[in-house]
A and B are shown apart, each in its own frame.
Chain A
Amino acid sequence: MFFWRRVAPQIPEEGLKPTATPGYTRNIRDLNDLVSRGKSFSGYERNPFYLNLKGQGFSETAALLGVDYNDDSRAVAVIDWDHDGDLDMWVTNRTAPRIRLLKNNFPRSHSSVAIRLIGNGTTTNRDAIGARLVLSAGAQPAQIRTVHAGDAFLSQSSAWSHFGLGAESGDLTLAVAWPGGATETFSGLKPGARYSITQGQGQLVTPMAVSPPAIPAATPAAPAALKAEKAGFWVVNQVPFPKLTYTDNKGAARTTAEFLGKPALINLWATWCSPCLEELGMLAKHAQELTSMGATVLALNVDGLAVDGSAPDSGAKPEAVLARLGYQLPHGTARQENLAMVEVLIEYLTARRAPPSIPTSFLVDAKGQVAAVYLGPVSWEQLSGDLALLNASPAAQLKRATPRPGRWFADPLNINRESLLGDYATLFATNGFPEESQRLYALAKPQAAEQTAQEFYNQAKAAAQQGLTQQAMELYQKSIDLDPNYGQALTGLGAMLLLQKKIDEAQPLFEKALSIDPNHATALVNLAMIDQARGKPESALQRLRQVIARNPEYAEAQLNLGSLLASTKQFDEAIKHLSKAVELNPKREVAHLNLAAALMETQQFTKAAERYRAALQLNPRIPQAYFGLGMVQSREQNHAEAVKSFRQSIALNGASSRTWTQLGLSLLALGEKTAAAQALTKAVELDPKNEGAKRALQEISPTAP
């Protein structure tokens, strides 16, 4: 439902750029984000099987045939695997098991014949792909097959052409039209046979006596004995471990950066988690070996922290538990923020978003890079092996990074490391850790050690997206310090200042941007806004006209120019620009409303009503639109409808004296004097200076005050 309710209504019109409706791209991003957080999307759908009703349509029989799997299935390939005369299928899935072989056990009430074609390799390809086979039997309509290779989704089926012989009787005749060659005809085919035909030899050959494979009876589809669920992986494209600030056992704040210089296992554990206790016991037991390998452990206790929506607490004291386990290596207490950062790290490494399971550990090398992730407890065998691997060649490390061996075509180590680390730093920024992001940006370029204006700008933008105004402003400033002519940074900082209504500070920034690029659209639009705020509409108009001259498709600029023109009573020109704004972005309510208002002013009531209706379709809760609609209706002497519209307006905003007045007048026109008087009284109550309402009241009931 999310897709159709949230994403689809945001789809931009044909002809518009996707950016015209930022909601579209954003909602698609949100959609992907929700999938990465574990939501299903058209999940658990069953595979249908459509039985051909002898050419008269199909009927769904998957459940009856036992093939209505609710896997996320992908590819289907057909083959008579066991040479028993009926077609079986291989199916691949996204979900487990990722492959199935569906053996066909249909009763053998019908026979079949199967043909393998071999082209001559000169005029026809050897596989005879594209050959057309036509099988005829008596008066029955012929059956045709074409030899395909790779039709359907991601699959190549058997090269054998298979013909079921349901009602076929009499002589079987086969015509083979070879691609790029002549047609050959064969007769006397026997039901149940498999033939190979080599082009030009004119013979039906029963190929190599292959006895039907004796596939052992199927074992029940019990989940196989898999190795215990043990997630985690070696990190081949390494990133720095985030700097976690935790509380040590003496209550002091410490950071994981202190472990730089030697490999460390950073372990998240809880007293309520028994695998954690076993793991810590193991670490305690091997403490000396760890030390002799130059490695250490930091066990961070997460008791009482929110993990996966709940904050379990065993009531045990972590220090006491560690003492009982004989654990004397470094340890401390994690903070909620540590878990959030770890979540970002895991998201970066896996593209999956979930709170860390407990226990989770990270093997961090002497340079502070994450070398391995263990989701769940790690064994000593694994850990000691991995510690030794830290000094191994990149090729040896890459081998450990794949669960099973194989060969690479594109070397995974050959990647743009700077861009990888840049993305990593950005992910921390967008998740609300701008400081960590900056630290990581700096680490990303240890040689240069300095960030570029562009990098500060990117971080600033990320911070601004998070609503971290102060952070964003500082970062924009840093970007400008490095490059005083960085137009986007100037307007970015200016926009942040405007948000805080600091017009005087914002103005010079936009002017500076304009001095670099006299047509800087952002700067012009913002300066126009400042002009307007300062009561200089002429200057604002001039700037907006300049923007539109170069960017006629800039919907918001058209809208603002039109609105500004309307507010200075230049309605005809206003209508032109507002119409353009509506055309460019039909989802902008205020464009419809302002256009409607301008149309009202120029007595174009029918068109105005159209705009009000359009605005109401976008958002049915705009009292002004109902009011405007009511005005048009009362103009058209359609007082009954007008009354409805005014009432809808009042239902949304009951405090408008003029709406009550118009309601009263329309009711009066309908002859409903009592109701009219009530409405007008309300209008006067709301605004004692409403002379129109008072006058109308007087007319209804001359005795009224």
Chain B
Amino acid sequence: MENATFPFPKANHRLAPPALWFNVGLCCLALTLAGCEKQAVTSATPATGSPAAASSASATPPPAESIVTGGQSKETVDLWSDAVKSQWAGIETAVVNGAPLGAEAGAFFHQSVGVIDPAALQTQEVFQDPSFKVTETGLPSGVDQGPMIELDVEAFIRALREQVGHVAGSSDNALHFKLYGITAGEGRLKTRQRLTARGTRNGNWVDSYAVVDATWVTPAADAPGGKPLLASFSVQRLVQNELTDRTVPFEDIAGTVLGGTDAWSEQLQLGMNTWVRRIQRSLHPDFLGYHGMAIGDIDGDGLEDMYVCQPGGLPNLLFRRQPDGTLTDVSAAAGVDWLDNSTGALLLDLDNDGDADLAVATRTAFLIMENDGRGKFALRERLTSAGMGYSPTAADYDLDGDLDLLVLRYSGEGSKGGDFPTPHPFHNAQNGGANILLQNQGAFGFKDVTNECGLGVDNHRFSFSAAWEDFDNDGRIDLYIANDFGPNQLFRNEGGSFVDVSSESATQDWGFGMSATWADYDRDGLMDIYVSSMFSGAGNQVIAQADFNPSMTEETRQKYLKMVRGNSLLKNRGQGRFDDITDPMAEGFAGWAWGAKFADFNNDGWEDLYVANGYVSQPDKDDL
């Protein structure tokens, strides 16, 4: 081939000097203009607008014409993903209504739908007690693939309805497919989703959960945006919970217990979406609602009372429990009605005099107040170095007979708080706040011993909360810290000082750690960990695409995929090692999870879990 056919690619190079250089001038170190990256991209490759669109906030996904056909660009998959979601919405309605679709079936379904032959499936009872029965339906163990049969659309809908117990009503969660995996191929899409259905059987309520692998036939002219048609629907394992006792086992009685207080009618019944429009921002009415509570007996009457933390501009609330179980608001009289934005608190005997003192994490300081024994509090210590703390937690880590305090601090210096932060590196962020361990010196003196105890190492992660537990049963309390945007940390207590054993114990649980709770859930004598983190259907789909962040190593991509898997159950195997035994479709599948607590709610001797979930719900439900 003649040399002339290997020219310096002029098209690029011609661009480089004038146009590209302009960007250099503008995007340089000293002067950062918001718009310059966009210019950089456009001027470097004027033929295309798609990278600029991808980096622009308000841009809608690019129109179908801009998609490269044949390849699997992110945009293509995104469009298919939206199309599949919209198809599921239609199919959900059809199944819930149970009405024949007639001619409309063709808008959702291929001619017929392949399913695993029901005759090949087995149902097994995995749990039974007086109020619950749990069954699993699937292929016999050892069988990976069942024989497929083809059902016509009406038969498919009928079969699905029968399987999940004739989903009832039109409630938004009567039947839902949550898409979290997608691959696009030649004229076909493969998707993975979690089915949730609410139905009845024998007059009992039945909830069904399953992972569904679906294939869709896409319109002949490989044009994203068209309607994919459901061609196969394969359920490997269907879990069904049947409530055999129709009394609803829980009811919200906050109104009954708090109803007599202004705090309830004028303060707690309004959400943060409302309060941020009624309190000036400079008073810090934390929109994200990081406000918790502490339970403790403030007056020695044997009834535990409650302190509730509140956003800036609204008073923290101390409720005294009456013998009839209702609450009265004693915040002001007790001297604890702080208006400063407060996150978490503890009611504990910090001076070993037999009453519950108060520690409360406020925006500018960690406040420690002494109880006079009758439920009145006086401020004894104000630690401004521990401001903007979260989830305070106590333990006697040095076994000297008094309680020491750990304050978790999420945001790094200079952060304004109240917003989604800018973690870096995203999956291993080390620009968070420094946690502080406060050693009780007696008489309400607390000393920062973070560094001398070995907790100063790797101490700039985004920590919201931590949990103390003696994981190795040596009588010394160890510490597990949940960190957002990266690995969690397990510190073994070696007699008043700590050693980071996260890696060797396999407890890093890379992810969006929000909180952790310990329990011996399987009663083997060893304390296990449950970590609240995040499941993201969008994250699972997007990260799996080959062109997601192309310069990322495979190792990093695997970390990202782990990050969006959801919550984790880490089983303590002894010898200082843990196994991640999470079932991603059961206890792993929460969402944007915050607090989680182990507790044996049905008194069967096995500790259950309740998980607080969800980040920001606003009137515009179109989710970011």
A210 in contact with B303 (CB, 8 Å): yes
Which A residue's beta carbon lies closest to that of B78? A5
Interface centre among A14, A75, A408 (most CB of B within 10 A): A75
B33 near A465 (CB under 8 angstroms)?
Answer: yes
CB of A600 within 8 Å of the partner chain: yes
- Among the listed B129, B131, B134, B251, which residue makes an inter-chain contact with A218, where contact means beta carbons less than 8 Å apart? B251
> Which of B7, B245, B295 is in CB contact (< 8 Å) with A77?
B295
What are 14 pairs between A and B in contact, CB < 8 Å?
A: A2-B624, A8-B426, A24-B426, A30-B57, A38-B620, A70-B614, A121-B401, A132-B470, A150-B294, A215-B324, A226-B269, A619-B51, A665-B1, A665-B5
Residues of B within 8 A of A25 (CB): 422
CA distance A560 to B18 in the complex (A): 11
In the complex with contacts A41-B624, A46-B173, A93-B271, A32-B292 CB distance below 8 A: no
With A94-B616, A180-B401: A227-B266 Cβ-Cβ less than 8 Å: yes
B203 contacts partner chain A, Cβ-Cβ < 8 Å:
no
**A404 B266 Cβ-Cβ under 8 A:** yes
Report the separation of the CA atoms of residues A540 and B466 in the bound assembly, to the nearest whole angstrom: 55
CB within 8 Å of A: which of B308-354?
Answer: 308-309, 313-316, 321-326, 331-332, 335, 337-340, 343-349, 352-354
Instruction: Provide the bound-state CA to CA distance between A415 and B600, in Å.
Output: 48
Given known contacts A41-B616, A590-B44, what 11 new A-B pairs fall within 8 Å (CB)? A31-B420, A47-B611, A87-B600, A98-B289, A154-B343, A164-B606, A401-B279, A406-B315, A559-B24, A600-B6, A624-B12
Q: Does B390 contact A (CB under 8 A)?
A: yes
Known: A130-B395, A153-B292, A556-B24. A109 touches B130 (CB 8 A): yes
Stretch of A61-69, A269-277, A294-302, A671-679 lying at the B interface: A61-69
Closest to B615 in A: A42
Q: Does B441 contact A (CB under 8 A)?
A: no
The segment out of A15-23, A318-326, A388-396, A435-443 that lies at the interface is: A15-23
Q: Is the CB of B22 within 8 A of A72?
A: no
CA distance A437 to B213 in the complex (A): 56
4 pairs of A and B residues whose beta carbons are closest in the complex:
A154-B292, A94-B289, A213-B325, A406-B315
Among A6, A15, A223, A409, point to the contact of B364 (Cβ < 8 A): A409
Of the stretches A260-268, A377-385, A446-454, A524-532, the one at the interface is A524-532
Whether A92 touches B292, Cβ cut-off 8 Å, given contacts A104-B250, A127-B403, A564-B17, is yes
A38-B464 contact in complex given A98-B271, A164-B606, C-beta closer than 8 Å: no
State whether the Cβ of A304 lies closer than 8 Å to any Cβ in chain B. Answer: no
Please state if A403 and B314 are interface contacts (CB–CB under 8 Å).
Answer: yes
| A350 and B551 within 8 A (CB) | no
* B282, A412: Cβ atoms closer than 8 Å: yes
Whether B8 and A601, one on each chain, are in contact in the complex, defined by CB atoms closer than 8 angstroms, is yes
- The closest CB in chain B to the CB of A113 belongs to B603
Is residue B543 within 8 Å, beta carbon to beta carbon, of the partner chain?
yes
Q: Chain A contacts of B536 at CB under 8 A? A: 4, 42
**In the complex, residue of chain B having the shortest beta-carbon distance to the beta carbon of A211:** B323
Question: Is A236 part of the contact surface with B, judged by Cβ < 8 Å?
Answer: yes
Cβ–Cβ contact A403 & B278, under 8 A = yes
Residue from A155, A237, A635 in contact with B280 in the complex, judged by beta carbons closer than 8 Å:
A237
Q: Which A residues lie within 8 Å of B279 (CB)?
A: 233, 401-403
B444: interface (CB < 8 Å): no
**Pair A98/B291 contact, Cβ less than 8 Å:** yes
Distance of A495 Cα from B34 Cα, bound (Å): 14
A72, A127, A217, A407: which contacts B338 (Cβ < 8 A)?
A407
A620 touches B280 (CB 8 A): no
- Can you list, as one digit per residue, whether each of B600-619 has a CB less than 8 Å from chain A (1) or not (0)? 11111111111111111111
A686 located at the interface, meaning its Cβ lies under 8 Å from any Cβ of chain B in the complex: no
Q: Is the CB of B344 within 8 A of A60?
A: no
Q: Does A350 lie within 8 Å of B277, measured CB to CB?
A: yes
Residue of B134, B420, B617 with highest tally of chain A CB at under 10 A: B617
* Cβ contact of B607, chosen from A2, A52, A119, A529, cutoff 8 A: A52
Which of B101-109, B217-225, B587-595 makes up part of the contact surface? B587-595
Q: How far is B22's CA from A494's CA once the two chains are assembled, in angstroms? A: 11
Option from A67, A127, A229, A525 in Cβ contact (under 8 Å) with B349: A127
Known: A22-B27, A406-B315, A410-B362. A58 touches B583 (CB 8 A): yes
**In whole angstroms, what is the CA distance A566 to B12 when docked?**
12
Question: In the complex, A692 Cα to B514 Cα: how many Å?
Answer: 65
Stretch at the interface among B153-161, B183-191, B254-262: B254-262
- The reply to whether the CB of A515 lies closer than 8 angstroms to some CB of chain B is no
Q: Is A533 an interface residue (CB 8 A)?
A: yes
User: Are A144 and B520 in contact, CB atoms less than 8 angstroms apart?
Assistant: yes
Task: Given A152-B596, A216-B256, decide whether A635 and B616 contact each other with a Cβ distance below 8 A.
Answer: no
**CB under 8 Å from chain B, chain A span 471-528:** 487-488, 491-492, 494-495, 498-499, 520-522, 525-526, 528
Chain A residues contacting B297 (CB-CB under 8 Å) are: 159
The CA-CA distance from A487 to B556 in the complex, in Å, is: 41
A177 CA to B525 CA, complexed, in Å:
14
Bound: A352/B611 CA distance, A = 29
CB proximity of B463 to chain A, nearest CB, Å:
11
The segment from A135-143, A280-288, A335-343 that touches chain B is A135-143
Which of chain A's residues have a CB closer than 8 A to the CB of B256? 215-219
Chain B residue with Cβ nearest A520: B30
Enumerate A553-571 residues with CB–CB distance to B below 8 Å. Answer: 554, 556-557, 559-560, 563-564, 566-567
When chains A and B are docked, how far (Å) is the Cα of A405 from the Cα of B262?
11
Residues of B within 8 A of A91 (CB): 595, 610, 612
Pick from B241, B606, B615: contact of A166, CB under 8 Å: B606
Residues of B within 8 A of A586 (CB): 550-551
Interface residues of B in 448-464 (CB under 8 A from A): 464
Q: Looking at the assembled complex, report how far the CB atom of A203 sits from the nearest CB atom of chain B, in whole angstroms.
A: 17
Residues of chain B lying within 8 A (CB to CB) of residue A461: 31, 33
- Chain A: CB-nearest residue to B70: A648
Task: State which of B402, B468, B583 has its C-beta within 8 Å of the C-beta of A57.
Answer: B583
In the complex, residue of chain A having the shortest beta-carbon distance to the beta carbon of B361: A154
Whole-angstrom distance between the Cβ of A616 and the nearest chain B Cβ: 9
Binds B, one of A247-255, A309-317, A626-634: A626-634
The reply on A575 being an interface residue by CB < 8 A is no
The stretch among B35-43, B89-97, B143-151, B501-509 that forms the contact with chain A is B35-43
CB distance from A607 to the nearest CB of B (A): 15
Is B554 close to A, CB under 8 A? no
Complexed CA–CA distance, A593 and B516 (Å): 47
Judge whether A614 and B551 touch: CB under 8 Å.
Answer: yes
B586 CB, min distance to chain A CBs, angstroms = 5
Do residues B293 and A156 form an inter-chain contact, with CB atoms below 8 A?
A: yes
Please indicate the chain B residues that have their CB under 8 angstroms from the CB of A75 in the complex: 291-293, 344, 594-595, 612
Q: Is residue B122 contacting chain A, with contact meaning CB distance below 8 A?
A: no
Q: Kindly identify which residue among A81, A106, A533 contacts B603, using a CB–CB cutoff of 8 Å.
A: A106
Measured in the bound complex, the distance between the Cα atoms of B276 and A37 in whole Å is: 12
Residues of chain B within 8 A (CB-CB) of A231 are 274, 277-278
